[in-house]
A and B are shown apart, each in its own frame.
Chain A
Amino acid sequence: MNTPIRRLAVVIFVMFTALLMASTWIQFVQADDLRERADNRRTLIDTYSRDRGAILVDGTAVARSEPTNDELRWLRVYDSPNRYAHITGYYSFIYGAGAGLERTTNSLLAGTDDSLFYQRLADVLTGRPATGTNLELTIDPAVQQAAVDALGDRRGAAVALDPRTGAILAMVSRPAYDPNALSSHNLTAVEQAYEQLAADPERPLVNRAIGGDLYPPGSVFKLVTAAAALESGDFEPDTELEGPLTYTLPGTSTDLPNFQGAACDPEGRPTLAVSIQVSCNTSFAWLAGELGADALREQAEDFGFGQALEVPLPVTPSTYPAELDEPQLALTGIGQHDVRVTPLQVAMMAAGIANDGVVMTPYLIETLRGADLEVVDQTSPRTLSRAVSQSTAQELTEMMTMVVQRGSGQLAQVPGVEVAGKTGTAEYGAQGGAHAWFTGFAPADDPQIAVAVIVESATDNWTGETGGVVAAPVARAMLQAGVDR
């Protein structure tokens, strides 16, 4: 019987070889394909439970990972959700790395970014568990807090930049939401919270400062028109413009009035400086016609219009319309018709003027830090464009200081500091609803901070809230915090 036993042994040998080959096939050859399957819960848990990098503001974590005992191992915690929700975004097991830096810099925070290859290799060799990169933000907590407090319950957004570098000092969007509700490990509660947020007509998930529907800029766009006028060489601050009580749009019988029907000056011929100071509509509508659409568009693009920036949060490009007839051109001169902007773009306009005409590329991340907080990478400021000449910038600054000293922006005054600014009241829709704008910088002679604020109208009906009344005080709070830092 020994021969068949030996043969049976061969059969068993073949059986075991088949098992060894099959497991090699699965665990070695097929492994990557299986791991990358969308329905692979293990891979999902793995990604969502690694010690994720923190997001730091002035050394304090505003988003961090806390170890837990449950399956997901790490819980994402946001310590000041009201202040930083739109910057951090949320990190949810169900909805993924959603919005904000959690989404945009997911691979850095997760520690899987290609740029971290050598660090990961070192981790594997030294047996250190892989960890994500920490992000230190450019945000100044005082400026951010000032914007949050000043905006209060109003819908809107506020952005502050360091005009010299482009560093974003504040970025606030209202209403906010609590990212903790979406990062919770109670998945049913997460689903409920998300559905509620997604269905909210106030759209709290949208970051209005950079990514929402674009806003009409209204009178803050007059800075672009004025810049184009000065750059053309045909106009000086004291050049008299045609600024009648009402301006009949070219080729139509439509009359464009000034704000509340007021005259810009007694003779109907205000200078460029006065036109800015009192935010004269008729003179700027006339001026747009004199300059032409191409000049205005080029000037707008020099300030950053049309550029898809990544700060690294993606910024919706602001637009100056492509095809215009004469009456439309006149309206764009005062920021109406189809001119659309983000608050960040408006802040870049003020920052460009403040920085002697040079617009710096805005950025939100100061440094990348490793697990032990040593600096891995540092952002160096970059020039985006030269928007206007140094002299034009100087002239615009002087005009803007008059706006705050004697014009429509007096509520933006900061004691002991010279503030330059421009108000805006941007009408939208047919019902006469309007958004309130303010943009400016301080100190006017040595700018340290540039801001843009929009307060959305609470109702679709005009409530008399102009940029000078509603938005200027918010900007004032931010400028105050910015120059005190």
Chain B
Amino acid sequence: MRVRSGRTIELLLILLAVGIVALAYANVNLAAVGRLPEHAWWHVAGFGGLALTLHLVLRWRARYADPLMLPIATLLNGLGLVMIHRIDLVSAPGGTSGVADRQLIWTGLSVVIAAAVLILVRDHRVLRRYTYIAMAAAFLLLLLPMVPGLGVEEYGARLWIRVGPFSFQPGEVAKIGLAIFFAGYLVSTRDALSLVGRRVLGLQLPRGRDLGPILVAWLLSMLILVLQRDLGASLLYFGLFVAMLYVATERTSWIVIGLSLFLGGALLAWQLFTHVQSRVTLWLDPFAAGQSDQVAKGLMGLAHGGIFGTGLGEGYPYLTYFANSDYIIGSFGEELGLVGLFAILLLYALLVERGLRTAIGAREGFGKLLAVGLSFTVALQIFVIVGGITRVIPLTGLTTPFLSAGGSSLLANWIIVALLLRISDHARRPVSERRQNESRQNESRQTRTTEQEVGR
């Protein structure tokens, strides 16, 4: 029986995505400066070419990969480019301030690296071998901004490194390393973490010595919060760990413990740090006198857009700070309205859903955990930044996956999509082909893998 790979649908959806992006690009330029952008065809062709290249790589190396992820990522990345270009048009009337050009170059680089990941990592299970190397690499990346002369502080947070003209936010890539490490570590230890322990008030509490890892993760997040003053990343890493721990052990107690630790930490941070206090004040009253008007301006931008938006290029998104990075969702909300914002959020929801489906379909624990972890970071990151802008939670500076200006974020999210595609190829591959494929592989490794699958 022949199984549909979905590659043809993927191709059609990519063409649709590129078409939407091309129209939006023309629209923004016509509305803002009254003419089509210079080299528009080259930009669109280059961008479409990148998406098609990845599509071809999938045909070659991951025939059964999920057919929706690549079109969604393409569309989001393209819309981000359009909005960044739109903000560029304002900061340098008649020309461009070049942020969009840089983003396009980063897009190219990210897609090439994503293709390399797909080509080099032919089976995601090999990543398990690098569990502790991934951890070390993640720690190293997280510490890089603290190195004198290399790290730079911007807007009160020490998250960037700068080499010559290039700045990079290593934390964005570190979360992939952390997801690999958590997946590898939890697959090996989940039995110990889930089965042993006492029952108290209907909760299966873990043994004291098994609490170690979660305490370490918590301390690490607090350390990031203190040293780098990055609320968003701290929340992201800890949330990632707790979610993966819960999925691995199926013990609700971990969520209770994790949430208590988080709330305790948050309360402590609120008491100790003035920058946390001002975020909370702004969350409760964005128009409080004497405070930053960032949230207020963002809200007024969203309100200005209303339900149908002002139309691309016809609002004033640039009146909000970080209109092309942290607040890019606000920019979309203003120019595309509530309708556009819903569309974008649903695209993200769909992407996350495909990731979770991949996790459910994955046939072994490591792939399951990795897919869950990667999908959940995307979901959590969107919740934290969009929730900050829409006042669901206090605002913390985070990039919006695929949309925000910033090379490190783009690179990290394309790698995440590449890994999810790789796992989904494995998960969706028909049994007949899988046997055929695996018979070619090393005898001892196959035995080991099969043992693991039997484990649960």
When the two chains form their complex, are residues B319 and A23 in contact, meaning their CB atoms are under 8 A apart? no
| Residue from B287, B302, B319, B369 with most neighbouring chain A CB atoms (10 Å) | B302
Chain A, residue nearest B243 (CB): A8
Q: Which of B283-308 contact A (CB under 8 A)?
A: 287, 293, 296-297, 299-307
When the two chains form their complex, are residues B345 and A42 in contact, meaning their CB atoms are under 8 A apart? no
When the two chains form their complex, are residues A2 and B360 in contact, meaning their CB atoms are under 8 A apart? yes
When the two chains form their complex, are residues B359 and A5 in contact, meaning their CB atoms are under 8 A apart? yes
When the two chains form their complex, are residues B307 and A4 in contact, meaning their CB atoms are under 8 A apart? no
B338 CB contact (under 8 Å) in A2, A5, A18, A23: A23
- B7 CB to closest chain A CB, in angstroms? 26
Asked if A24 is an interface residue, CB under 8 A from chain B, the answer is: yes
Cβ of B119: which chain A residues have Cβ within 8 Å of it? none
Asked if B25 is an interface residue, CB under 8 A from chain A, the answer is: no
Asked if B391 is an interface residue, CB under 8 A from chain A, the answer is: yes
How far is B333's CA from A20's CA once the two chains are assembled, in angstroms?
Answer: 12
When the two chains form their complex, are residues A19 and B316 in contact, meaning their CB atoms are under 8 A apart? no
| Interface pick from B60-68, B266-274, B382-390 | B382-390
When the two chains form their complex, are residues B246 and A26 in contact, meaning their CB atoms are under 8 A apart? no
| Interface pick from B137-145, B213-221, B348-356, B407-415 | B348-356
When the two chains form their complex, are residues B376 and A8 in contact, meaning their CB atoms are under 8 A apart? yes
Asked if B225 is an interface residue, CB under 8 A from chain A, the answer is: no
How far is B382's CA from A434's CA once the two chains are assembled, in angstroms?
Answer: 76
How far is B391's CA from A3's CA once the two chains are assembled, in angstroms?
Answer: 31
Cβ of B376: which chain A residues have Cβ within 8 Å of it? 8, 12
Cβ of B246: which chain A residues have Cβ within 8 Å of it? 4, 8
How far is B338's CA from A20's CA once the two chains are assembled, in angstroms?
Answer: 9
Asked if A376 is an interface residue, CB under 8 A from chain B, the answer is: no
Asked if A6 is an interface residue, CB under 8 A from chain B, the answer is: yes
When the two chains form their complex, are residues A26 and B390 in contact, meaning their CB atoms are under 8 A apart? yes
Q: Given the interface contacts A16-B383, A19-B387, A27-B338, does A5 sit within 8 Å of B304 by beta carbon?
A: no
Cβ of B391: which chain A residues have Cβ within 8 Å of it? 22, 26
How far is B293's CA from A49's CA once the two chains are assembled, in angstroms?
Answer: 24
How far is B391's CA from A1's CA once the two chains are assembled, in angstroms?
Answer: 33
Q: Given the interface contacts A1-B250, A24-B338, A27-B333, does A15 sit within 8 Å of B379 by beta carbon?
A: yes
Chain A, residue nearest B393 (CB): A18
| Interface pick from A28-36, A347-355, A473-481 | A28-36
Q: Given the interface contacts A1-B250, A3-B250, A18-B387, does A28 sit within 8 Å of B93 by beta carbon?
A: no
Cβ of B392: which chain A residues have Cβ within 8 Å of it? 18-19, 22
B299 CB contact (under 8 Å) in A4, A20, A26, A41: A26
A5 CB contact (under 8 Å) in B247, B297, B390: B247
- A289 CB to closest chain B CB, in angstroms? 64
Cβ of A373: which chain B residues have Cβ within 8 Å of it? none
Secondary structure of the B contact surface, majority rule: helix
Cβ of B93: which chain A residues have Cβ within 8 Å of it? 69-70
When the two chains form their complex, are residues A28 and B306 in contact, meaning their CB atoms are under 8 A apart? yes
When the two chains form their complex, are residues B356 and A9 in contact, meaning their CB atoms are under 8 A apart? yes
Asked if B372 is an interface residue, CB under 8 A from chain A, the answer is: yes
Asked if A40 is an interface residue, CB under 8 A from chain B, the answer is: yes
When the two chains form their complex, are residues A12 and B365 in contact, meaning their CB atoms are under 8 A apart? no
B304 CB contact (under 8 Å) in A4, A20, A43, A69: A43
Q: Given the interface contacts A22-B391, A30-B303, does A8 sit within 8 Å of B383 by beta carbon?
A: no
Q: Given the interface contacts A1-B250, A19-B392, A27-B302, does A8 sit within 8 Å of B338 by beta carbon?
A: no
Asked if B232 is an interface residue, CB under 8 A from chain A, the answer is: no
Cβ of A71: which chain B residues have Cβ within 8 Å of it? 90, 316
When the two chains form their complex, are residues B360 and A27 in contact, meaning their CB atoms are under 8 A apart? no
Asked if A406 is an interface residue, CB under 8 A from chain B, the answer is: no
Cβ of A39: which chain B residues have Cβ within 8 Å of it? 287, 293, 296
Asked if B315 is an interface residue, CB under 8 A from chain A, the answer is: yes
When the two chains form their complex, are residues B303 and A26 in contact, meaning their CB atoms are under 8 A apart? yes
When the two chains form their complex, are residues B338 and A28 in contact, meaning their CB atoms are under 8 A apart? yes
Interface size counted on chain A using CB atoms at 8 A: 39
Q: Mark B311-349 against chain A: 1 for CB-CB distance below 8 A, else 0.
A: 000011001000000000000010001100110010011
B372 CB contact (under 8 Å) in A8, A20, A32: A8
How far is B337's CA from A37's CA once the two chains are assembled, in angstroms?
Answer: 19
Q: Given the interface contacts A3-B250, A5-B368, A23-B390, does A16 sit within 8 Å of B345 by beta carbon?
A: yes
When the two chains form their complex, are residues B303 and A1 in contact, meaning their CB atoms are under 8 A apart? no
How far is B342's CA from A6's CA once the two chains are assembled, in angstroms?
Answer: 23
Interface residues on B, range: 35 or more
- A13 CB to closest chain B CB, in angstroms? 8
Q: Given the interface contacts A8-B246, A8-B372, does A1 sit within 8 Å of B383 by beta carbon?
A: no
When the two chains form their complex, are residues B345 and A19 in contact, meaning their CB atoms are under 8 A apart? yes
When the two chains form their complex, are residues A20 and B342 in contact, meaning their CB atoms are under 8 A apart? yes
Asked if B39 is an interface residue, CB under 8 A from chain A, the answer is: no
A-B contact count (CB 8 A): 129
When the two chains form their complex, are residues B369 and A1 in contact, meaning their CB atoms are under 8 A apart? yes
Cβ of A458: which chain B residues have Cβ within 8 Å of it? none
How far is B130's CA from A241's CA once the two chains are assembled, in angstroms?
Answer: 121
| Residue from A8, A20, A70 with most neighbouring chain B CB atoms (10 Å) | A8
Asked if A375 is an interface residue, CB under 8 A from chain B, the answer is: no
Asked if A417 is an interface residue, CB under 8 A from chain B, the answer is: no
| Residue from A2, A9, A23, A24 with most neighbouring chain B CB atoms (10 Å) | A23
Q: Which of A437-455 contact B (CB under 8 A)?
A: none
Chain B, residue nearest A22 (CB): B390
Cβ of A34: which chain B residues have Cβ within 8 Å of it? 299-300, 302-304
How far is B303's CA from A46's CA once the two chains are assembled, in angstroms?
Answer: 13
Asked if A45 is an interface residue, CB under 8 A from chain B, the answer is: yes
When the two chains form their complex, are residues A23 and B333 in contact, meaning their CB atoms are under 8 A apart? yes
Cβ of B352: which chain A residues have Cβ within 8 Å of it? 12
Chain A, residue nearest B356 (CB): A9
Cβ of B380: which chain A residues have Cβ within 8 Å of it? 15
Q: Given the interface contacts A5-B247, A26-B302, A26-B303, does A41 sit within 8 Å of B316 by beta carbon?
A: yes
How far is B305's CA from A30's CA once the two chains are assembled, in angstroms?
Answer: 12
Asked if B199 is an interface residue, CB under 8 A from chain A, the answer is: no
How far is B297's CA from A86's CA once the two chains are assembled, in angstroms?
Answer: 37
- B352 CB to closest chain A CB, in angstroms? 6
Asked if B456 is an interface residue, CB under 8 A from chain A, the answer is: yes
B456 CB contact (under 8 Å) in A1, A18, A25: A1
Asked if B423 is an interface residue, CB under 8 A from chain A, the answer is: no
| Residue from A9, A12, A19, A27 with most neighbouring chain B CB atoms (10 Å) | A27
How far is B318's CA from A70's CA once the two chains are assembled, in angstroms?
Answer: 13
Cβ of A30: which chain B residues have Cβ within 8 Å of it? 299, 303
- A142 CB to closest chain B CB, in angstroms? 40
Cβ of A26: which chain B residues have Cβ within 8 Å of it? 299, 302-303, 390-391
How far is B350's CA from A12's CA once the two chains are assembled, in angstroms?
Answer: 11
Asked if B174 is an interface residue, CB under 8 A from chain A, the answer is: no
- A10 CB to closest chain B CB, in angstroms? 10
When the two chains form their complex, are residues B319 and A35 in contact, meaning their CB atoms are under 8 A apart? no
- A2 CB to closest chain B CB, in angstroms? 5
- A76 CB to closest chain B CB, in angstroms? 20
How far is B89's CA from A70's CA once the two chains are assembled, in angstroms?
Answer: 11
When the two chains form their complex, are residues A42 and B349 in contact, meaning their CB atoms are under 8 A apart? no
Excluding A19-B386, A20-B342, A43-B300, 8 further A-B contacts by CB distance (< 8 Å) are A2-B360, A8-B247, A15-B380, A15-B387, A16-B345, A27-B306, A31-B302, A34-B299
Chain B residues in the interface with A (C-beta under 8 A): 90, 93-94, 243, 246-248, 250, 287, 293, 296-297, 299-307, 315-316, 319, 333, 337-338, 341-342, 345, 348-349, 352-353, 356, 359-360, 365, 368-369, 372, 376, 379-380, 382-383, 386-387, 390-392, 456
Query: What 3 A-B pairs come out closest when comparing CB atoms?
Result: A34-B303, A22-B390, A27-B338
> What are 8 A-B interface contacts by the 8 Å CB criterion?
A1-B248, A8-B243, A16-B383, A22-B390, A27-B307, A27-B337, A37-B287, A71-B90
